[in-house]
Amino acid sequence: MKTLWQHCHVASMAHGQYSIIEDAAIVTEGAHISWIGTRTEMPPQGDVQTVDLNGMWVTPGLIDCHTHTVFGGNRSGEFEQRLQGVSYAEIAAAGGGIASTVRATRAASEDQLYTSAERRLKHLLKDGVTTVEIKSGYGLDLENERKMLRVARRLGEHLPVTVRATCLAAHALPPEYKDRADDYINHICGEMLPALAAEGLVDAVDAFCEYLAFSTDQVEQVFITAGQLGLPVKLHAEQLSSLHGSSLAARYQALSADHLEFMTEEDAIAMGAAGTVAVLLPGAFYFLRETQLPPMDALRKHGVNIAIATDLNPGTSPGLSLRLMLNMACTLFRMTPEEALAGATIHAAKALGMAETHGSLEVGKVADFVAWNIERPADLAYWLGGDLEKRVVRHGIESTF
Ligand code: NIG
Ligand code: FE
């Protein structure tokens, strides 16, 4: 089935730029784009179904490349504690934080996790997201990490969204391994990752490199195992302190290093040379009331591609709108609306290893796009949330919500 989408303007994001096409036409054949350009230059298309987009602005479908959408319970009580002055690290040290979500996630059935995650994911989809990455990391044993990853897979089967599942078993130390971090890392590398990978549940491997989580040596072991299993890696790095996890990630050709507020210029040089994407998470920066900004100038100077994501999670970023994160990236991190949109499209695709097929509107790419009733592309980073009028097309078919 061939469809012509016309009477629209396009911000194609080809080469990471808006790349504006006014009075554009897009032709899709099945799930792919077969032609895109100025309408008056379009060659005859033969038998085609035509959709009039009434002057809307078309962008690639938004890609949320870092989320923890699947979890049990929530932590609004800890939010209140932090407002009283207790820090994230103090809450974690007292057995709250990630550990409390681990207890709630282990206690939840797969169906319960599915139901609550689906509710959250629908918020993202209503906001124009067509691809999402979902991490495990609140199970921290084989059975419960498997449960989370299975929920991630099911979400992709039942909702109009492409899901990439990332195993984040090295997120925190489970209680049964208290004071035995090296043993837990050995368990991840020897048992958990091989089993979960063999079950086809893992698209990438992530870890939390931080003084209150895992050291660079421990993360390196996880990366080596991922490499042996043929899986790409990513890393939570330099969120609260500088351990140079982002340089380690670059050394292992990681798809991305994420957070990065405390990274150094040397880290940026390493990431730029390796093509490792910097995934910035302004929701977590905001929600934790951080003050150390990621080094934007160093990232730009050394040619590091910058992506923006929600980090949707119960502890540090209960963010249900990727567009709101675009605004925060501009307001808090001084990105331009153009950089922010590239960060939620083409650079986010690269952070998931999908840039060949997703993230920009070009011939041969997957026909995932959103037609927005806005005046200019910058409006996407301008409005603070809300439900913008839009039409969402995934794999060449319009989604209905
Ligand atoms: O991306 N940094 C570590 N992981 C999450 C937070 C998880 C939590 O507090 O539940 C993050 O911010
Ligand atoms: Fe995260």
The domain segmentation of the chain, as residue ranges, is 2-60+365-398, 62-351
Ranges assigned E (strand) in 105-214? 129-135, 162-170, 204-209
Ligand 1 mean position to 232 CA, how many Å?
20
* pLDDT single digits (tens) 362-377: 999 999 999 999 999 9
284 neighbors 273 (Cβ within 8 angstroms): no
Ligand 2 mean position to 134 CA, how many Å?
10
Alpha-helical (H) ranges within 252-321 are: 265-274, 282-287, 296-301
Q: Which ligand is nearest to the CA of 318?
A: 1
Cβ–ligand 1 distance for 236 under 6 Å, the answer: yes
Q: What are phi and psi of 373, to 5 degrees?
A: -85, 75
pTM of structure: 0.98
Cβ atoms within 10 A of the Cβ of 223, count? 26
Q: Which atom of ligand 1 is nearest to the CA of 138?
A: 10
Which residue type, as a one-letter code, is found at position 157?
A: E
| CATH number for the domain running over 62-351 | 3.20.20.140
Q: Which ligand is nearest to the CA of 313?
A: 1
With a cut of 50, list the residues of the chain below it in pLDDT: none
335 neighbors 329 (Cβ within 8 angstroms): yes
Ligand 1 mean position to 272 CA, how many Å?
25
- Supply the residue whose CA is at minimum distance from atom 9 of ligand 1: 315
pLDDT at residue 400, as a whole number: 83
- Supply the residue whose CA is at minimum distance from atom 8 of ligand 1: 315
Query: Whole-angstrom Cα distance, residue 329 to residue 342?
Result: 12
Cβ–ligand 1 distance for 313 under 6 Å, the answer: yes
Query: Whole-angstrom Cα distance, residue 259 to residue 280?
Result: 5
Cβ–ligand 1 distance for 316 under 6 Å, the answer: yes
- Supply the residue whose CA is at minimum distance from atom 3 of ligand 1: 208
142-158 and 110-126 are packed helices; what angle lies between their axes, rounded to 10 degrees?
40
- Supply the residue whose CA is at minimum distance from atom 12 of ligand 1: 316
pLDDT at residue 310, as a whole number: 98
161 neighbors 130 (Cβ within 8 angstroms): yes
Read off the tokens for 224. 């080596």
Give 27's strand partners: 4, 35
Cβ–ligand 1 distance for 284 under 6 Å, the answer: yes
Cβ atoms within 10 A of the Cβ of 315, count? 25
Q: CATH says 2-60+365-398 is which class? A: mainly beta
